[in-house]
């Protein structure tokens, strides 16, 4: 069915059941969270976003996790649910901190932030030039209606930042009247409460977590609230979504020393007891859809966002305090006819600011560090950005049975930078630092702009009703972020950066039968203008990398009470250039990129004896990987075993769940690194247990 025809159907009806083609396949394990006897609900109707339908209709490596699948996992951190996604790894840091990898290494430093687009109800959670590598803590993952993960460059509806992939979080929204209450307690002083209220025109989800840790002085409080309500005006109808997040975190940094994560004393230590991260984010979006007399469909989606964050940069000498924030407004517009043609226009304006202040002199035995990292302000600037993008996509079924998808996106992003301090790399009072000047350079006021074209071409051939073979070629891009352009170091007056581009081709095969469904995809990608920091500390964009891999996923219903599911991926991520980065860090063409495990996988066996009793065993595997660009240091990888069980108490609406994580008490690293002559690790937690009570009405 063409995208336009599907959209027409949705708009002409007042409600729609969740379509099997747009949700992950429901298994017995999914049903375990919904076994309380309820009256048969009326058919719920929801008008889906035109962009959501368009992206779902494109044959690509898209994985969807349903609300039931998310609830079964009940993730405490995004890391725990994204191991369901082939080729994806959310590397857990301290508290709710994380780094993302989708068909990519775990990217760090300059060039890392903004390589993945995160959306909530089809709206990016941040402006294009003001990324946050930890931005998944701003969305309510655990109470989501659905999580869609696009592996590889985004479609034409996405823009800058959907370089290696996109993560789209859909909130539940109104439906049949219901209420749900949840309390959970677990190891390491973990406590969480959730509430979800649903009515025919409005819905509310709220969550609050107070968590300790097995590490000294590490803890966080994390609150999330989401509200949705439907509306109509004349022939137009739609939905408004409001979201608010607050994170108050006491952070623990790396532990150091080879295999320190195995040492009982070192793994629980905290070398940065004063580190913290305080952040909040608020968003509102309102989607309106209507259908013309001629059968053309329209969508308008205005939005506004705001966020603030303070965090101590404990990983830097002098531990300066960074404060940043952004306010933005925008509108997403799209149009579709009945011949498979869809077009859109995106407009966005943002105002961001950043300050970095070091309260005390740098405490170091090195005279160079003491002199070049001075007390006082290092940066104080604001940046205004304007984004304008237009896109066009055409889907057409050829006489041979092939379905063709062709699209093109053009985007223009402009920055207007204002330095609110002295230009150059002096102290904030204008005095010079020794050793050739202070480390921190503040460019003069300037404007920069970036233009990008991103084409895509896809072919799909339906072998039969259950099996599809597809091909896709696409380009993703990432404009330089504001911090890469204006937060410079000694000697670099202007960062002459280009937008990163990623060219990708992939072929895939999907099969969906009653008892067994599986998918396999193979891809090859080449990235140009890779942004990194060279031996002089300059931000430059002349790097190149290559990426290739194979990804598989499987769901097999063995019998009425037993189901097997899993995913496995192999990838090779390589440098495609040579460079000496200094301090012994040397990039050689053909070397594997550090923090890029070739093998990632998971296997789950789900057992359900009755409607009121279920259990699941999960095995998660991460292969070994190099820790530095020179490929001289390595982490051995690990395997983890997790168990979960659920009991529904009669017809009372009460459910009790028990979860055992890292059952074998394996000593492992959530992420490993080698830099500045040291092995560095975020240690993984040992065996943990949590008990959850839930009531549904």
The parent domain of residue 539 ranges over 3-696
651-672 mean pLDDT: 94
Q: What is the pLDDT of residues 203-261, one digit of tens each?
A: 999 999 999 999 999 999 999 999 999 998 888 999 999 999 999 999 999 999 999 99
Q: Compute the distance between CA of residue 185 and CA of residue 196 in angstroms, rounded to an integer.
A: 18
CA 554 – CA 510 distance, rounded (Å): 10
pLDDT digits (tens, 9 = 90+) for 360-380: 999 999 999 999 999 999 999
Question: Distance (Å, rounded) from C-alpha 440 to C-alpha 691?
Answer: 49
Answer yes or no: is pLDDT of 45 > 60. no
Q: Which CATH number characterizes residue 363's domain?
A: 2.40.170.20
DSSP 502-528: EEEEEEEEEEE-SSEEEEEEEEEEEEE
Query: Residue 47's pLDDT band (boundaries 50, 70, 90)?
Result: low
Strand 165-170 to 116-120 pairing: parallel
Structure tokens at 612: 């009121």
Share of the chain above pLDDT 70, in %: 93
Our count of domains for the chain comes to 1
- Tell me what the mean pLDDT of segment 471-482 comes to: 95
Tell me what pLDDT residue 536 has. Answer: 79
pLDDT score, position 9:
32
SS3 37: coil
Taking 70 as the threshold, does the pLDDT of residue 661 lie above it? yes
Question: Residue 609, class by beta-carbon neighbours within 10 Å (0-12 exposed, 13-18 middle, 19+ buried)?
Answer: exposed
Tokens of 376: 């006082």
Burial label for 671, CB within 10 Å (0-12, 13-18, 19+), is buried
Radius of gyration of the chain (CA): 25
Task: Please report which residue ranges of 330-383 form alpha helices under DSSP H.
Answer: 367-372
Q: Please tell me the distance from the alpha carbon of residue 224 to that of residue 647, in angstroms, as a whole number.
A: 27
Three-state DSSP at 492 gives: coil
Dihedral angle, C-alpha 483, 485, 486, 487, nearest 10 °: 50
- pLDDT tens-digit map of 314-365: 989 999 999 999 999 999 999 998 888 999 999 999 999 999 999 999 999 9
Report d(CA 569, CA 522) in Å as an integer: 10
Q: What is the mean pLDDT of residues 473-483?
A: 95
Residue in the structure block whose two tokens are 């979860």: 659
CA distances from 207 to 74, 174, 182 (A): 12, 18, 9
Coil, strand or helix: which one is 20?
Answer: helix
Position 40 pLDDT exceeds 50: no
Question: Residue 10 — pLDDT band, cuts 50, 70, 90?
Answer: very low
Instruction: Give bridge partners of residue 669 from the DSSP assignment.
Output: 683
The string over 637-668, giving b where at least 16 C-beta atoms fall within 10 Å of a residue's C-beta and e elsewhere, is bbebbbebbbbbeeeebebebebbbbeeeeeb
Q: What is the pLDDT of residue 652?
A: 81
- pLDDT, residue 582, reads 74
Task: Point out the least confidently predicted range of 53-67, 268-282, 445-459.
Answer: 53-67
Report the pLDDT value the prediction gives residue 260, as an integer from 0 to 100.
96
- What does the pLDDT read at residue 114? 84
Written as one string, the DSSP assignment of 563-604 is EEEEEEEEEEEEE-S-EE-STT-EE-TTPBPSS--SEEEEEE
> pLDDT (tens digit, 9 = 90+) per residue, 79-119?
999 999 999 999 999 999 999 999 999 988 777 788 999 99
């Amino acid at each position: 069915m063409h995208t336009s025809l599907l959209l027409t159907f949705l708009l002409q009806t007042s409600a729609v059941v969740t379509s099997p083609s747009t949700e992950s396949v429901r298994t017995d394990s999914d049903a375990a969270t919904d076994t309380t006897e309820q009256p048969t609900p009326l058919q719920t109707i929801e008008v889906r976003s035109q962009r959501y339908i368009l992206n779902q209709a494109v044959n690509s490596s898209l994985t969807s996790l349903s609300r039931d699948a998310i609830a079964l996992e009940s993730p405490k951190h995004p890391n725990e649910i994204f191991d369901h996604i082939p080729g994806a790894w959310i590397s857990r840091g301290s508290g709710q901190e994380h780094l993302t990898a989708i068909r990519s290494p775990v990217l760090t430093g300059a060039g890392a932030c903004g390589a993945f687009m995160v959306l909530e109800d089809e709206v990016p959670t941040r402006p294009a030039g003001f990324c946050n590598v930890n931005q998944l803590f701003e969305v309510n993952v655990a109470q989501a209606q659905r999580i869609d993960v696009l592996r590889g460059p985004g479609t034409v509806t996405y823009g800058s930042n959907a370089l290696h992939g996109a993560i789209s979080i859909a909130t539940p929204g109104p439906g049949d009247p219901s209420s749900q209450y949840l309390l959970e307690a677990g190891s390491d002083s973990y406590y969480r409460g959730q509430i979800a209220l649903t009515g025919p025109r409005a819905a509310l989800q709220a969550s609050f977590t107070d968590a300790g840790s097995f590490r000294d002085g590490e803890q966080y409080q994390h609150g999330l609230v989401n509200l949705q309500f439907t509306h109509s005006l004349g022939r137009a109808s739609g939905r408004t979504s409001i979201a608010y997040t607050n994170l108050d975190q006491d952070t623990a940094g790396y532990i150091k020393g080879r295999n320190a994560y195995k040492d009982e004393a070192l793994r629980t230590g905290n070398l940065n007891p004063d580190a913290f991260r305080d952040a909040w984010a608020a968003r509102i979006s309102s989607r309106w859809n209507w259908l013309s007399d001629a059968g053309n469909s329209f969508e308008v989606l205005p939005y506004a966002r705001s966020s603030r964050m303070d965090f101590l940069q404990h990983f830097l000498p002098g531990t300066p305090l960074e404060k940043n924030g952004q306010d933005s407004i925008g509108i997403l517009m799209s149009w579709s006819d009945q011949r498979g043609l869809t077009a859109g226009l995106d407009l966005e304006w943002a105002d961001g600011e950043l300050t970095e202040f070091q309260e005390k002199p740098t405490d170091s035995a090195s005279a160079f560090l003491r002199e070049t990292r001075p007390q006082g302000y290092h940066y104080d600037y604001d940046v205004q950005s304007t984004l304008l993008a237009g896109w066009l996509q055409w889907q057409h079924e050829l006489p041979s049975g092939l379905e063709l998808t062709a699209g093109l996106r053009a985007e223009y992003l402009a920055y207007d930078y204002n330095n609110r301090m002295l230009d150059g790399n002096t102290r904030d009072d204008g005095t010079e630092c020794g050793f050739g000047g202070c480390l921190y350079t503040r460019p003069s006021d300037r404007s920069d702009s970036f233009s990008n074209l991103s084409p895509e071409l896809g072919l799909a051939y339906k072998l039969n009703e259950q099996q599809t073979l597809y091909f896709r070629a696409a380009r993703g891009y990432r404009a330089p972020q504001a911090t890469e352009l204006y937060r410079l170091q000694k000697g670099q007056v202007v960062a002459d950066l280009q937008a990163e581009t990623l060219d990708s081709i992939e072929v895939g095969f999907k099969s969906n039968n009653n008892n067994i469904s599986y998918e396999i995809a193979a891809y090859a990608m080449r990235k140009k203008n890779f942004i990194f920091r060279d031996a002089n500390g300059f931000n430059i964009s002349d790097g190149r990398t290559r990426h290739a891999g194979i990804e598989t996923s499987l769901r097999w219903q063995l019998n009425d009470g037993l189901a097997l599911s899993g995913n496995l991926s192999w990838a090779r991520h390589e440098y495609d250039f040579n460079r000496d980065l200094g301090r012994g860090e040397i990039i050689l063409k053909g070397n594997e990129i550090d923090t890029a495990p070739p093998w990632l996988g998971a296997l789950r066996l789900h057992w359900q004896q009755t409607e009121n009793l279920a259990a699941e065993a999960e095995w998660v595997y991460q292969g070994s990987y190099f820790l530095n660009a020179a490929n001289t240091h390595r982490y051995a990888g690990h395997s983890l075993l997790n168990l979960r069980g659920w009991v529904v108490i009669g017809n009372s609406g009460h459910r009790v769940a028990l979860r055992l994580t890292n059952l074998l008490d394996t000593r492992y690293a959530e992420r490993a690194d080698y830099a500045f002559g040291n092995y560095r690790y975020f240690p993984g937690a040992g065996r943990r247990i949590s008990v959850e009570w839930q009531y549904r009405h």
